[in-house]
Amino acid sequence: MMGHAAKALPFVSDEERAHWHDQALWFVRLKRDRQAESIPEWEALRESASAIKAHTLSRLADYLEEFERNARANGIQVHWARDGTEHNTIVHRILAGRGITRLVKSKSMLTEECHLNPYLEAQGIEVTDTDLGERIVQLRREPPSHIVLPAIHLKKQDIGELFHKELGTAQGASDPSYLTEAARGHLRQKFMAAQAGLTGVNFAIAETGGFVVCTNEGNADMGTSLPPLHIASMGVEKVIPRTKDLAIFLRLLARSATGQPVTTYTTHFHGPLRGGELHVVIVDNGRSAILHNETFRRSLACIRCGACMNTCPVFRRSGGYSYGYTVPGPIGSLLAPLRNPSHFGSLPFASSLCGSCSDVCPVKIDLHHELYAFRQELVRQKIVPLYKRLAMAGLSWVLMTTWAYCLASRLMRWFVPRLPRALVYGPWNPWGRQRELPQMPRESFRDLIKKEPT
């Protein structure tokens, strides 16, 4: 089974692209900082959001039942799915029961998690992702590489090539306005032909039985206003108690995600269209198990803003595909091994533990401490390979034993200068080349050490 480092190798080997990816995400991170700094009560908002999430998670079943009661009273049909398979079956049953073969879908990481697209396509239903980034990766038959910016790993030239092949745009064209216009025309036809629309749910309000979907492109609105059937897929953790709580989350979400003051379209759904149907599928898919895990239950507070990815030095330099899970980055490095520790056991180690993720998280999930705790858990469960456990135990003993520490320091001082340069900076270490290391000195390490003042 390939770990994070091995999966990251193709990405980090393309130095130019990895550097560009790093800078693109850092730009988003800086935009987020400017927005956060422009609001004096930013930290108070984060505190409130964190407290609301902690409270909601402590009474999750009650709030979900309240949401269901009120949603039904609004004419919304509510379904419960234990896992991804049940979710897909329910969605298919609704569509097949009405003879629907064309579905448009706005961004929903939950449907990615459940692998809904391939499931429906295998049943003869055409699914079109309508978020521009999602449509791009769908045309490339790839999953999203980031939860908010699904095609952030691609340059405009890559998209120009793809659109030339798939949408017939001019060869070599890479002007973003031209490409966006072409995508708009293509998607417009899909919207007009759709028989049903599927959206995710950003926030479901227990008090009213309504829910909110945030997009920047208005694609959720188009996809749910034209066809008479709307299906919304919602993870159990999306519920919040009251409408007034929403204001706090909406102020935090767009600023943390893309550095915008507010998402362009924030749409409230409180019932079906006249003569139409609205279904909400509430999905557990392993979330209840996380809720019962006292150490890591806070990971369910995540509002999927992506800020922890944009700031993470490992994510920025290794790309979303190196995580091998629907949700990458620091939060994915918790969620994935919580679902399958032996398969995703390398992810908690894909972190510098610098704490930047915890600093930006709008709901104050203590990501880096949780990642550290997860490492210890993996060692306890013996999922970390034996050689690594032995190395860590040995190192821990050396650090705690004065004479061993002194001896090891002497040995390292002798050994490191004799390491071949290629091991440190050369082609054998593409990961090391991506880091902001000082320029390789012309002198050997041995000469440099000799020069050091005593």
Binding site residues, ligand SF4, CB under 6 A: 256, 302-308, 331, 360-363, 365, 367
The sign of the torsion formed by the CA atoms of 287, 89, 142, 211 equals negative
Calpha distance 61→70 (Å, rounded): 14
CA geometry: angle 186, 192, 196, nearest 5 deg: 115
Pairing label, strands 126-129, 77-81: unpaired
Tokens of 375: 């490492």
For the bound state, the minimum distance from the C-beta of residue 302 to ligand SF4, rounded and expressed in Å, comes to 3
Q: CB 326 → ligand SF4: shortest distance, Å?
A: 12
Nearest residue (CB) to ligand SF4, 25 versus 361? 361
- Shortest Å distance, C-beta 162 to ligand SF4: 27
Which residue, 190 or 317, has its beta carbon nearer to ligand SF4? 317
Of 221 and 366, the one with the shorter C-beta distance to ligand SF4 is 366
Structure tokens at 199: 């959206």
Cα angle 360, 365, 370 (rounded to 5 degrees) comes to 115
Q: Residue 278's closest CA among 239, 235, 242, 224?
A: 224
Helix (H) or strand (E) holding 62: helix 60-73
Q: How far is the CB of 303 from ligand SF4 (least distance, A)?
A: 5
User: 262 or 411: whose CB is closer to ligand SF4?
Assistant: 262
Q: At what angle do helices 132-139 and 176-193 cross, to 10 degrees?
A: 90
Q: The tokens of 388 are what?
A: 């690594």
Q: Is the CB of 234 or the CB of 361 nearer to ligand SF4?
A: 361
- Total residue length of the chain: 454
Q: Encoding tokens for residue 410?
A: 């002497």
Residue type, 59: R
The nearest distance, CB 2 to ligand SF4, in angstroms, is 24
Tokens, residue 341: 């520790």
CA angle 390–331–81, rounded 5-degree value: 115
Rounded least distance, CB 51 to ligand SF4, Å: 15
CB of 327 to ligand SF4, least distance (A): 8
Helix (H, G, I), strand (E, B) or coil at 268: strand
Give residue 433's Cα distance to chain centre: 26
Q: What is the dihedral of CA 143, 147, 152, 156, to 10 degrees?
A: 70
The radius of gyration of the chain's CA atoms, rounded to the nearest angstrom, is: 24
- Beta-bridge partners for 235: 283
Distance CA 311, CA 31 (A): 11
Residue 222 or 367 with smaller CB distance to ligand SF4: 367
For ligand SF4, the closer CB: 280 or 302: 302
* CB-facing half-sphere around the CA of 389: CA atoms within 13 A: 12
Minimum distance between the CB of residue 143 and ligand SF4, rounded to whole angstroms? 17
Q: Smallest distance, Å, CB 193 to ligand SF4?
A: 34
* 78/327 with CB nearer ligand SF4: 327
Q: Minimum CB separation from ligand SF4 for residue 362, in Å? A: 6
Q: Which is nearer to ligand SF4, 71 or 308 (CB)?
A: 308
Q: Which CB, 70 or 258, lies closer to ligand SF4? A: 258
